[in-house]
Structure formats: C-alpha cells, structure tokens
Structure 1
Amino acid sequence: MNILIAEDDMISRNLLKTTLKQFGHTVKVFSNGAEAWEEYDNNPYRVIVSDWLMPEMDGLDFCRKVRQRHSTEYTYFILLTANVQQGNETYIEAMNAGIDDFMTKPLDRDLIWMRLKVAERILRYTTEISNLESMLPICSYCKNVRDDNNYWQQVETYLNNRTGTVFSHSVCPRCYETKVKPQLEEL
C-alpha cells in the first residue's frame, strides 16, 4: 500500500518509515499536518498514519480536511498518540473528526502490522461497496432504470433527477435504417 505519514518527532517518524517499508509498503513522510495535507490534496492516499499533536496542523484537523475532500476514495486514518491517559471526550472528538483507529507511542511493530491488515480489509470492502453502488439496474426489455426506492423510470428521468442533465432526442443511423425508414416507405 501507499501510506502517507505525518509525524513531527524525527525518531518516531524514521522508526515508522523504516518499519512500514520493511512490511513492503511505499511510504511518503512529512513532519507536520499542513505539509501532509498539501501532498494528500494533490495525490490522495488510501492510508494515513498521523501523529495527534503536531505543529501547523494537528492530526485531527488533518483528518477533518481529508474527510471533507469530495470525490476521493475512502482513506483509512490511524492516529498516533503519546498520551495513553486521554479522557473519553478526547477520543470521541477524534472519532467525530473521522479517525478510524488509534495507536499509542512508542510504535509496536506487531500492532501496526495488524492495524494495516485491518485497513487493507476495510479499504477492499469500501471499494467493493462503491462498485456495487455505482451499478445501475436497468430493464433488459424497456430500458427503464430502478432507483433507490425500487421505482422504475426512464433513463432520462433518472439521470435528470440525479444530475440535472437535460436530454435532446434523435435517431441513430442504425435505428433510422431499421425502424424509421421502413415506416416511411409504408406511407
């Protein structure tokens, strides 16, 4: 996997980078959330491992920006913290920001390996769900489309309701030859 790391502590950053590379991942490393966000905004990653407390932009603000970015595949976000004694309110705030998982420092190789296995599984599922949601059920006979409420309607109506697209109608050359022209010849 391609993994983006945001960690301001040089020793933790290098340890995390080395560990993830040993696991076979491609890693891009930044020393603060602002730099990491700039990279992510230009080139989204599917997995982020970020420190909670960093200069310029902390891990929660970084995660909020990731979650607000539209038209991006789901990103699994792991938050690192050195403070094990944080209260439930703090973790609830992190969950509300969109954090998927937590890890405490110092880095535990086995735990990060397990967390990344979970991330791979979650990302595979989100991709499968996205693919299923993008399928459009269409009748083989009348070409009507079924919407989310199990209502069948013309393709034009369905697309207009969802995208605002307006259609003009015409006849393709094949249909002209096979449908229209024979009718005109009968006249």
Structure 2
Amino acid sequence: MKGERRLRRGTDELRELVAGVPRAFACCAALARLPYDDQEAIRAAWETLTGRAPGPDFRLVPPVHCDHGLRLRVGAGVFVNHGCTLNDMGGIEIGDRTLIGPNVSLLTGGHPMPVAERHDGIVVAPIRVGADVWIGAGAIVLGGVTVGDGAVVAAGAVVTRDVPPATLVAGTPARAVRRLD
C-alpha cells in the first residue's frame, strides 16, 4: 500500500492507537442512539469522536462505525449515510461536498501479508478522498488510496488503487470506466 507503515506489537505508537479504540466505540454507540433529525446533537457527538467540530452543513445518518476517530477529518458539506465503517488508524481525509453512500467502508488498517508476521502488529496507510466525490453504496476503499476530486466510486466497488480526478470507477478490483468531464 502507498504510504504504508508497520506498527509492531509492543510499541508505544500501537499501544496508544489501540488505547483509543474503546473511546471511539463508545462515541459511535452514542451516535447510533441519536435520531437523524437531531443534526445538532449528531454534530456534537461527531466533535467528541473526532476532536474537531464539523461545519454546520455536515450531515450524518447514524449509525457509523469507527476504530479511532481522532485521525478522521471531514471538509465542509460532507454527507455520510448510515452504516459506514471509517477505520481511521492510518488517517482519513474527506474533502468538501463529498457524498458517502450507505454501508461504505474506508479501511486504513490491516495485517502484514506474510503469515509469519501476521500477528506481530498491524499495517496502516492513509486514505484521501478529494472534494465533490461520490462513493456509492457498499463500496470499499482500502488504505493507501487517493480518490481524486470529482470522482465517482460505483456501488459495490473495491478500490485498491488511486482514482484519478473526474473518473468513474467500478468493479472488484475497481477499474476506470470513463472520464466524467
């Protein structure tokens, strides 16, 4: 993965990240109990989860699942639909006016590929989603991926490589279908 870092078991960095998981899970549980029509409470709960206040035009349909929260950044006018998983230990940045469909997963962490190393820690790599992006229902974006401004990720796509700006990608693994200019 582009930008991948290995966090070995027993290191201070991994202990710090893992220590934040129960807090993030509790924040997500609190968010899940909020009705969609109470966006003020949702924005306050999001601020508790991420450590940053979202803009007044941020919209979220609970529930959302997150494993850290403090490494998650959203721009202005972002919409996150229900059932999304935002595993942000590697860092997630979501640009302005981006639309994230239901049950989308943005996954920045995983395990080392070699069997002998799989239980020795985790690997993380950031995800960057540009402005004016639409990620369709059930899509999965893996760590190390950048989705360019104005791109569309089709429903159910599995994105393992960078998506150029203003491009529609679809499939498993996702491939460019056409330019959107």
Tell which structure's C-alpha radius of gyration is larger.
Answer: 1
Identify, as 1 or 2, the structure richer in strand.
2
Range of TM-score over shorter length: under 0.3
TM-score, normalization: structure 1?
0.20
TM-score, normalization: structure 2?
0.20
Identify, as 1 or 2, the structure richer in helix.
1
